[in-house]
Structure formats: C-alpha cells, structure tokens
C-alpha cells in the first residue's frame, strides 16, 4: 500500500524509516519531510497544516494509510477531514486531540474522573490570576501553563509570586502566546522523576510502547531552559512492573474509557507525561501523538511490523497485534543548533554524516535539515537524532557519542550526559 507520513521532525524520519521496512509499504511519502526522510520516502512539498492539500494529495495518489506526527494538524482536525472523505488515517479526531490542545480541558477532564494530577486552578483574567497567586495556596515554586499549544514554550516554573505574576501577565495581558494564553492553568509544583508513558489506542483498548526517559533541559546536568527534548533512552530507568500496572490502572485505562464515554473516542497515540512523586504517579500533561525524540529510541527497539500495528489501531483491533520489542536498551542524542531553544542560526553546512553512519548499528534520524544538491544544511533548532541500541546502556551511549563526535556544523551543541540519572530537582 501507499503510505503518507505528515510532519518534518526526527520523529517523522524514524516513522518513515520503520514504515519503509514493512512488506506492506509499497511506497512511502512524507509531507513536508526533511533531508533525512527523502532517503527512505518521497518528500511532498505540502505543509503539515495544509489539511485540504494533504487530503487532496491522499485522494489523488490513492494513499491507503496516513500517519500524523505533530499535534498541530491533529488539533486542527486533519483526521476529521480525512475520514469525511473516506481516507484512512492514524490519529485522534479534533475533539479527542483536545486532551493535548487545551490544558484547561485536560486538567478538568482529569479532575472529573479522578485521574491523578497536580492540584490546580484556572484563570481567564489577570485579576483572577493575581488573586490565586496572592492566596499562596499552592506555595512556591508554582507552575503557570498557557491553555493552548505554544510549541512547548507555554509552561513556566516560577520561583516566586512576583515571577508568577509577571508570567501570568505576559500570557493574559501581553498575549505572548496569542489566543493560546487567553486562559491559564496555575498548578502546584510536583517533585520527582519524569517518565514518558506512551500507548497506541484503538479507542477502547491500548497497546503500550516500551517506556522511555526524555531529557528536556537544554544543557548537561538538567540546566538551562526546557526544550522539546535533547535526547532519550528506552527503557526508562524508573519504570517498574508495579509502576507500569499503576499507570495503566489509574491513568491510561480511565483516560481512554472516559474519553470514549464523553464522545471523544481516542484513536492514535496517547502519551502521558508523568511525574513519579512520593505519593505515586501524577500526570503533568497528555499528548495526542508520538513523542519526539522518544519515538526514535522506541522504534529502534520495535521488532514487529509498525504498519500492522497502526492499521490495527485504525481498524479498532489493537489487541490483535502481538508486539515484539528488542530487549536491548536504546538511546538517542539530539544534535541541536547553538542557542536552541532560544535563538539560533540556520543554513549551516553539516559534515561527517557519512563517517558517523559508517559505525555499525548507528541510526541517524534527521530533524531540521535539508539538502541543497549534495550539501546537507541545518534548517531548525533540533537538527539530528543520533541513535543506537547495544547490549547495555553504557555501550549504547558510547557508540552514539562516537558518532556525534564525527559530525560537525558551526555552533552545534548536544548534551554529553544523555542516559545518566540526574539529581532530583528540589
């Protein structure tokens, strides 16, 4: 069958790479794709937000399965549009994707159904926000979250009341995030370990992916601003069988069941960002899509056919699949542009890719890249995801860092401690 992948990050390159290996995939397209996806798929110059253009393309080319990577087209309703036209697509509907698209909806949903999460209040005006902050009921630090999508920048941990008021003002008054900041969530700060818990749901039942640990901070030692993710390993060192069962019973199963009951049947990837606190797991956020970079080390470990798994979810028969994973750990180090996530240059020439790829067992997934003739250039903040999977984590990371050392572009930056366990934040 012909398969279309929507998106242009490392996640989409990993999806395209794995999907292209399936005997079911006769031809793979990626829209718009990047410098790496064109090695395993045909790039189509359509933006991920051009829903009508993507649906026209899928209809014209007889695409039999479309797989959506990023959250923005999902929250815009790409799945609804494709289904209206009788086109098969993997991902949640617009209503189901609201679990990621609106933090207010997600928090109130969890509250309604007693899904464990931090205590919170919603404010839709600055005076109301100031009142909540002045009450001191959540103590400090405190977390302020813009309601809507803000490209991972809408969550701010504030150490003092002054900082929290300033942040609330930026969102509610100065409209730093536009309509995404019309309402905010004010939330208690949770301490513990973060775990990404990701499942494929067919609307009723789920198939869990192997666990992963993301490293969100920009610099070594978990210093610097939060990013989309600077690297990940699978499995997460904090995942145990007991925790797995607890998260399935208290978070995942109730979320999928209650979304169905509320008329928001969730088909696609449900990703719970969790803080494992002293009192047990608490949901920091839900995402309605595969993680990035988590998908990269996860798919490196997947031995089953991804097309069969995704198709089973679309056809509402996810349990039919017996999913097999490699027992070996895997890792991914994100190579980023200097200055990411704040300000960075683009258009730098990347060298050493072939030398790095020569190391047996190394997979390099592209994110912010493009080719001009035979030259690979940077086009974004996160540029590459360098992955491997060996018998143990130390060997895996050594191989990845060997590969990273062979790659070069001006001002490139990557964390040197991916896979290490950090001190808990206090």
* Positions that interact with ligand AMP (CB under 6 A): 118, 143, 145, 155, 157, 187, 189-190, 194, 216, 226, 273, 284-285
Q: What is the CA radius of gyration of the chain?
A: 21
- Nearer to ligand AMP by C-beta: 39 or 155? 155
Contacts with ligand GLY, 242-281, as mask; x by CB under 6 A: ----------------------------------------
Who's near 420: CB < 8 A, 6+ residues apart?
none
Q: Which does 187 bind (CB under 5 to 8 A by kind): ligand AMP, ligand GLY, none?
A: ligand AMP
What is the rounded CA–CA span in Å between residue 288 and residue 242?
25
Beta bridge partners of 120: 187
Write down the least CB distance from residue 73 to ligand GLY, Å.
15
Q: Which does 292 bind (CB under 5 to 8 A by kind): ligand AMP, ligand GLY, none?
A: ligand GLY
Tokens found for residue 67: 């797989």
Please report whether residue 229 would count as binding ligand GLY according to CB under 6 A.
Answer: yes
Tokens found for residue 157: 């941990």
DSSP conformational letter for 303: -
Burial of residue 170, with CB atoms counted within 10 A of its CB: 0-12 exposed, 13-18 middle, 19 or more buried: middle
Please tell me the count of residues contacting ligand GLY according to CB under 6 A.
7
- Nearer to ligand GLY by C-beta: 80 or 294? 294
**Where in 288-307 is the site for ligand GLY (CB under 6 A)?**
291-292, 294
Stretch of 1-9, 199-207, 285-293, 378-386 contacting ligand GLY, by CB under 6 A: 285-293
Tokens found for residue 215: 């490293």
What is the rounded CA–CA span in Å between residue 262 and residue 204?
13
Instruction: Output the CA–CA distances (angstroms, integers) from residue 194 to 57, 180, 251, 276, 411, in the order listed.
Output: 39, 25, 15, 6, 29
E-assigned strand segments in 85-173: 89-90, 120-123, 142-146, 155-158
Instruction: Output the CA–CA distances (angstroms, integers) from residue 149 to 70, 375, 382, in the order listed.
Output: 11, 34, 19
How far apart, in Å, do the first and last CA atoms of the chain sit? 51
Stretch of 286-294, 313-321, 378-386, 404-412 contacting ligand GLY, by CB under 6 A: 286-294
Please report whether residue 36 would count as binding ligand GLY according to CB under 6 A.
Answer: no
Write down the least CB distance from residue 287 to ligand GLY, Å.
5
Q: Which does 143 bind (CB under 5 to 8 A by kind): ligand AMP, ligand GLY, none?
A: ligand AMP
DSSP conformational letter for 251: I
Q: Which does 228 bind (CB under 5 to 8 A by kind): ligand GLY, ligand AMP, none?
A: ligand GLY
Q: Which of 33, 118, 154, 228 binds ligand GLY (CB under 6 A)?
A: 228
Please report whether residue 222 would count as binding ligand GLY according to CB under 6 A.
Answer: no
Q: What is the binding site for ligand GLY (CB under 6 A)? A: 214, 228-229, 287, 291-292, 294
């Amino acid at each position: 069958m012909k398969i279309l992948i929507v998106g242009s990050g490392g996640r989409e390159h990993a999806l395209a790479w794995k999907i292209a290996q399936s005997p079911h995939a006769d031809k793979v397209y990626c829209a718009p794709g990047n410098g790496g996806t064109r090695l395993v798929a045909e790039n189509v110059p359509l933006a991920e937000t051009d829903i009508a253009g993507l649906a026209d393309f899928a209809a014209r080319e007889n695409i039999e399965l479309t797989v959506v990577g990023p959250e923005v087209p999902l929250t815009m309703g790409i799945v609804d549009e494709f289904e209206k036209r009788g086109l098969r697509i993997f991902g949640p509907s617009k209503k189901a994707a609201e679990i990621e698209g609106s933090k207010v909806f997600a928090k109130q949903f969890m509250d309604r159904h007693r899904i464990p999460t931090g205590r919170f209040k919603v404010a839709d005006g600055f005076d109301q926000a100031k009142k909540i902050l002045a009450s001191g009921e959540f103590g400090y630090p405190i977390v302020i979250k813009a309601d809507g999508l803000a490209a991972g920048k809408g969550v701010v941990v504030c150490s003092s009341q002054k900082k929290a008021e300033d942040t609330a003002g930026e969102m509610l008054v100065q409209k730093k995030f536009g309509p995404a900041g019309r309402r905010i969530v004010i939330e208690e700060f949770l301490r513990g370990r973060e775990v990404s818990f990701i499942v494929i749901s067919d609307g009723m039942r789920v198939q869990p992916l192997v666990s992963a640990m993301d490293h969100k901070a920009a610099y070594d030692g978990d210093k610097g601003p939060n990013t989309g993710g600077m690297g990940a390993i699978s499995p997460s060192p904090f995942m145990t069988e007991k925790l797995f069962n607890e998260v399935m019973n208290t978070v995942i199963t109730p979320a999928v069941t209650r979304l169905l009951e509320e008329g928001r049947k969730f088909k696609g990837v449900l990703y719970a960002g969790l803080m494992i606190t002293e009192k047990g797991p608490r949901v920091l956020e839900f995402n309605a899509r595969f993680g990035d970079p988590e998908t990269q080390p996860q798919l490196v470990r997947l031995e089953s056919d991804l097309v069969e798994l995704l198709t089973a979810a679309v056809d509402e028969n996810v349990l039919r699949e017996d999913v097999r994973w490699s027992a070996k750990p895997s890792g991914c180090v994100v190579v980023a542009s200097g200055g990411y996530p704040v300000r960075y240059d683009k258009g730098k020439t990347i060298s050493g890719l072939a030398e790095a790829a020569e190391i047996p067992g190394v997979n390099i997934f592209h994110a912010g890249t493009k080719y001009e003739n035979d030259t690979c250039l940077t086009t974004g903040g996160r540029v590459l995801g360098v992955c491997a999977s060996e018998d143990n984590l130390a060997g895996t990371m050594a191989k990845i860092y060997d590969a990273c050392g062979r790659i070069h572009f001006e001002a490139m930056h990557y964390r040197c401690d991916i896979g290490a366990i950090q001190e808990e934040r206090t």
